[in-house]
Amino acid sequence: MKKIGILLFLNVLIRFNTFSQETKRPNIIYILTDDLGIGDVSLYNVQSKIKTKNIDRIGNEGMIFNDVHSSSSVCTPSRYSIVTGRYAWRSRLKQGVLHGYDEPLIDSTRFTVADLLHNDGYSTACIGKWHLGLGWAHNSIKDNSDIDFTKNITGGPNSLGFDYFYGLASSLDIPPFIYIENNHTVGLPTVTKTYGRSGLAEKDFEAVNCVPDFTSKAVSYIKDQAEAKKPFFLYFTLPSPHTPIVPNDQFKGKSGVTEYGDYVLETDWAVGELLKALDEAKIAENTIVVFTSDNGFAPYVLKTFDVEALGHYPSMQFRGYKADIWEGGHRIPFLVRWPAQVKTKSECNETVCLSDFMATMGAITNQNIPDNAAEDSYNILPYLKGENKKVIREATIHHSIDGNFAIRQGKWKLEFAPGSGGWTAPRNAAAVKEGLPAIQLYDLNTDIKEQHNVYKENPKEVKKLTALIQRYIDKGRSTPGEPQKNDTVVDLWYNTGFGDVKNN
């Protein structure tokens, strides 16, 4: 009888300790918007014509980061780095983005941030836009016309550590236009619809419903996990304000800055719904909420919705837009709220990259990450806790849609492109014709608008930074650790229009 009593006591003690540990582990919500410019967030842009009160709330109740960069100026490679902690140019993707029927970019054997958190007892979910490739089933020949939508989809979030997935294969303007839940489509695509591009769609699918549908799913997930009293990781990837610009009627005309501004307001509303769900479930105190964007503002929006003509500047003072190697392509909003650990209205001015998420989660959950994972991820927890005064990142690599590189260290930014590397004039081919040099060097302390190329005056900096980025490429990582292999050959001078100019 005494033995039974001791066993019961030990069982209760173990359960208490387990519960205690679980309640101490923070919930994690990562909100990723699509093509939201840093100047679209009113907390960053005092002259913004759009008031993003819910997004601003995250920064006002937590930390605002002032020098954060997506690892690429377009979405697929940026998303790759968030999930894997690795620069996407180390994979097969050297430029551009994936499309809706493309094969998975992340190998199923690669360790992800979802694996990391799942291994620590977290429930993990991805709700929203995926855009990292899926393994569609084919009947006989491997092209888009031969997909069997009744069969299992492989290689998606459920293969990479996520317990639950509900979302889209890629962007809202790329077919197929159909929801996916876990490894199956929700219904079958039986009609053709056009949202920027034309393609197969489920008959009831409407782009205008995506933001509210994903928001509803996310809110339900938060409430369910709160009731289960289990720590959770929600990767919430909104398809907005990427084109097609489709705000719901309740937001139309509310911003005063075209329907693009209205769509940003709907995006802000979605953020507010998640914050409200945390408050109602009484779990906000120990929930980390990260808010950011996958790259800068998309310039093609201006052709239909010229918000700049109305005095709203999504890139603020930064040169360029989405796709470009210049700051407007990859400098993004980044806000973190964690009431239990992060001081309200705090700021960080150090350089951070979206790839840093994985190492930071490893530190927060006190887990070791394998040496062959998160090769470009730095732990920024000391910044969040206000404990670190020194620079954590040795340097940061940027990448453009054309596959051009840049490296940033301190005030210096060296770009391996004669032009924008993207869509802004001059594009690389035009820059070569104009006789512009193969590289650009800017002192961002004195020239944040990147107007004065000072590579000739600073040959030592050019040589030092070129050697550093080449070392990062050759070593297969930019963090300390054993050398790793890139998936394919990486060429620093790729798509510059000059060929190999290493020795010039």
Residue 352 in domain: yes
> For the domain that residue 186 is a member of, what is the CATH number?
3.40.720.10
Distance CA(424)–CA(139), nearest Å, equals 42
Distance CA(221)–CA(164), nearest Å, equals 10
Based on the fold, state whether residues 269 and 190 are members of the same structural domain. Answer: yes
Q: Which two tokens stand for residue 280?
A: 């109602």
Residue 44 in domain: yes
Based on the fold, state whether residues 326 and 413 are members of the same structural domain. Answer: no
Based on the fold, state whether residues 263 and 408 are members of the same structural domain. Answer: no
pLDDT value at residue 146: 87
Based on the fold, state whether residues 31 and 78 are members of the same structural domain. Answer: yes
Distance CA(339)–CA(392), nearest Å, equals 23
Based on the fold, state whether residues 380 and 401 are members of the same structural domain. Answer: no
Residue 237 in domain: yes
Using an 8 Å Cβ cutoff, are 334 and 65 in contact?
yes
Residue finishing a domain among 384, 406, 428 = 384
Distance CA(464)–CA(471), nearest Å, equals 11
Instruction: Read off the pTM.
Output: 0.94
Distance CA(83)–CA(323), nearest Å, equals 20
CA 246 to each of CA 175, 292, 301: distance values in angstroms, whole numbers, following the listed order: 16, 21, 12
Based on the fold, state whether residues 299 and 446 are members of the same structural domain. Answer: no
Using an 8 Å Cβ cutoff, are 90 and 375 in contact?
yes
Residue 453 in domain: yes
Based on the fold, state whether residues 380 and 406 are members of the same structural domain. Answer: no
Based on the fold, state whether residues 168 and 245 are members of the same structural domain. Answer: yes
pLDDT value at residue 502: 47
Residue 138 in domain: yes
Domain count, the chain: 2
pLDDT value at residue 28: 98
Query: Under 8 Å CB-to-CB from 456, ≥6 apart: which residues?
Result: none
Based on the fold, state whether residues 26 and 172 are members of the same structural domain. Answer: yes
Single-letter residue type at 498: F
pLDDT value at residue 503: 37
Query: How many Cβ atoms from other residues are within 10 Å of residue 216's Cβ?
Result: 14
pLDDT value at residue 139: 84
Residue 354 in domain: yes
Based on the fold, state whether residues 405 and 265 are members of the same structural domain. Answer: no
Q: Is 35 helix (H, G, I), strand (E, B) or coil?
A: coil
pLDDT value at residue 10: 36
Residue finishing a domain among 320, 353, 384 = 384
Residue 265 in domain: yes
pLDDT value at residue 145: 74
pLDDT in tens, the chain (504 residues): 333 333 333 333 333 343 334 447 999 999 999 999 999 999 999 999 999 999 999 999 999 999 999 999 999 999 999 999 999 999 999 999 999 999 999 999 999 999 999 999 999 999 999 999 999 998 876 667 789 999 999 999 999 999 999 999 999 999 999 999 999 999 999 999 999 999 999 999 999 999 999 999 999 999 999 999 999 999 999 999 999 999 999 999 999 999 999 999 999 999 999 999 999 999 999 999 999 999 999 999 999 999 999 999 999 999 999 999 999 999 999 999 999 999 999 999 999 999 999 999 999 999 999 999 999 999 999 999 998 778 999 999 999 999 999 999 999 999 999 999 999 999 999 999 999 999 999 999 999 999 999 999 999 999 999 999 999 999 999 999 999 999 999 999 999 987 655 433
Residue 21 in domain: yes
Residue finishing a domain among 351, 384, 417 = 384
Range of the domain at 62: 7-384
Based on the fold, state whether residues 400 and 462 are members of the same structural domain. Answer: yes
Helices (H), 110-194: 113-119
Based on the fold, state whether residues 348 and 461 are members of the same structural domain. Answer: no
> For the domain that residue 459 is a member of, what is the CATH number?
3.30.1120.10
